[in-house]
Amino acid sequence: MKRNGVEIPKSQEYFWSKEWQDRIKASEEDLTKGNYKTFKTKEELFAHLDSLKDEER
């Protein structure tokens, strides 16, 4: 696969699929809008992830 004249390694072709490009675009939009959280410690991050896990139940 080539992209802009550059050969893309087979192991990285998935990145250029429409699905992945849509995901990247959505992520960039979230960052621009400030739709993200920051954490001062890994413990805060893990507590947040645990709370999300609890919400799924």
**Residues β-bridged to residue 7:** 2
What is residue 19's predicted lDDT score, i.e. its pLDDT?
A: 96
Residue 3's pLDDT band (cuts 50, 70, 90): confident
User: Domain map of the chain by residue range?
Assistant: 12-56
Who has greater pLDDT, 19 or 3? 19
DSSP string, 6-54: EEPPGGGGGGGSHHHHHHHHHHHHHHHHT-----SSHHHHHHHHHHHHH
- Taking the whole predicted model, whether its pTM rises above 0.85 is answered as no
